[in-house]
Each structure stands twice: as C-alpha cells, then as structure tokens.
Structure 1
Amino acid sequence: MGVNKYVSDVKTIGHNQQVVFNYLSNFENLAGYMNSGLIERITEKVPQIKITEFQSDRDSCKFNITGLGVAEIKIIDREPFKSIKIESSGGLPLSFTFWIQLLPVDEYNTKMRLTLHAEMSMMIKMMVGNKLEEGLNNLADTLTKLPYQ
C-alpha cells in the first residue's frame, strides 16, 4: 500500500476565519447538513455509493457505505482558527489523513485548502485514484456553501 497526496484548489469562504473554524471543527454541525438531503444527493450523483446510518458527535462521525463497510472519521487535532486534522478508522479498504487549512483574507473572508493523504492498495488506486482529486475539489466547493453561523 502506498500513500498518495491530493490537494484541492484554494477556495474562498465568505465568512470570518474563526466562524468557519468553529463550524467545521464540530462534526455535530455536519450531521444536520448530512441529514438535510446531502446523503441523497451523493447517492444520486454516485449510485454505487450508498451512505446509511450516519451518526456523529463533536469529534467523530460514523456511517455505513453499502458494499464497503463502516467508516469512521475523527478529528485528531485542532489548531484554533488555522487547521483541522481528521483521520479515518473503521473497516474501509483505505485509510486517510485529511487537513482543512484556513487563512484569513480579511474580516469577512477566509481562504481554505483541503489536503488528503490516502493509503490504499494499487487496485483501489486504479479504481478511485483519479476521482479523488475531483472529489476533493467538490468537497471544497460544498464547504464554501455551508450555513456558517
């Protein structure tokens, strides 16, 4: 298994850096968004992936991906207002570490970049490797549209 690095484009979020950090560093905020129709939209776009049994608390979330198993991700480090480090666990055939990096532009705008280090077998890489960068950029776009408060 090899480690592969994927980096999103830099995106701008129209909110204060502290507000963005506080929202993204609490997975309970993600639960409301996931359960408000995001899971269904993911399934519509990628019918091979069906997410069920989504649950979360402040530091982790767990869900089942039909055909792959239970996935769990945990926030393992928070550097206030600058970065959030997330790690996978569970029964998936790949493991990853994921960073959300935040940088203030001004009082009302924040730049964000996502970095993913994924450890996967050659077979998994051949199946999904070229889609991971596109998926990372789609995730970055989605994060710019969250209802930050």
Structure 2
Amino acid sequence: MALNKYVSEVKVIEHNQQVVFNYLSNFENLSTYLNSGLIEKITEKVPQIKITDFESDRDSCKFNITGLGLAEIKIVNREPFKTIKVKSSGGLPLSFTFWIQLMPVNEYKTKMRLTLHAEMSMMIKMMAGSKLEEGINQLADTLSKLPYQ
C-alpha cells in the first residue's frame, strides 16, 4: 500500500470563515444536504458507485457503497476556524486522511483547499487515481456552494 496525495484547487466561499468552519465541522449539516438529492446526483454521474444507508452525527458519518462495503468517516481534529481533519475507517479497500483548510480573505469571504492522503494498493490507484484527482476538485466545488448559515 502506498500513500498518495491529492490537493484541490483553492475555492472562495462567499461567507465568513467562522460560519464556514462551524457548518463543515458538523456532519449533521452535511447529512441534510446529502439526503436532499446529492447522493442521487453522485450515483447518476458515477453509476458504478451507489451510496445507501447514509447516517451521521456531529462527529461521524457512515454509509454503504455497493460492491465496496461500509464506509465510516470521523472528524478527528478541529482547529477552530482553520482546519478540519477527517479519517476513514470501515471496510473500504483504501484508507484516507482528509483536511479541509480555511483561510479568511476578508470578513465576508473564505478561501478553502482540500487535501487528501489516500493509502491504497497499486491496483486501486490504477483504477481510481485519476477519479480521486477529479473528485477532490468536484468536492471542493460542491463544498464551496453549500447553503452556509
């Protein structure tokens, strides 16, 4: 298993850094958004991946991915208003650590960048490596457009 690093483009979010941090550091907020249609959109774009049984609380979420098994993601560190660190667990054939990094532009704008460290076999990398590169940027774009409150 080798460690691979993927970094998103920097996105600008039209909200205050504290508001963005508070929203993203609570998986219950993401649950509402995911269950309102995002999971179906992911399945439409990538029909090989079907996500079911999504559940979450403030610090973690879990869901089944058809053909891969149960995925669990937990927030393992919050550095207020700057960084959210997430780790995977569960039965997936890869493990990852994921950072959401936030930096204020001004009082009403925040820059965000995602970094993913994925540990996976060479075979998984050959099959999914380019998709992870593309996926990290799509995720950053999606997160930059969430209904922050």
TM-score range, shorter chain: over 0.9
Q: Which amino acid aligns with 1:124?
A: I
Residues 1-149 of structure 1: matches in 2 within 5 Å? 1-149=1-149
Distance of 1:34 and 1:10 partners within structure 2? 22
Cα distance in 1 for residues equivalent to 2:6 and 2:144: 19
- Residue 105 of structure 1, CA deviation: 0.1
> Please, what is the CA RMSD of the aligned residues?
0.3
Q: Return the alpha-carbon distance in structure 1 between the equivalents of residues 43 and 8 of structure 2.
A: 22
Paired residue total: 149
- Give the fraction of aligned pairs with identical amino acids, expressed as a percent: 83
Post-superposition Cα deviations, 1:51-89, rounded to whole Å, max 9, x if no partner, equal 000000000000000000000000000000000000000
Deviating 4+ runs (over 3 angstroms): none
Q: What TM-score results when the alignment is normalised by the length of structure 2?
A: 1.00
Which runs of 5 or more residues in structure 1 are unaligned?
A: none
Aligned equivalents of 1:7, 1:35: Cα separation in 2: 26
Unaligned runs of 5+ in 2: none
User: 74-83 or 130-139: which moved more?
Assistant: 130-139
SS at 1:113 equivalent: strand
- Once the 2 structures are TM-superposed, how far is the Cα of residue 131 of structure 1 from its aligned partner? 1.3
Deviation at 1:20, TM superposition (A): 0.1
The alpha-carbon deviation at position 40 of structure 1 amounts to 0.3
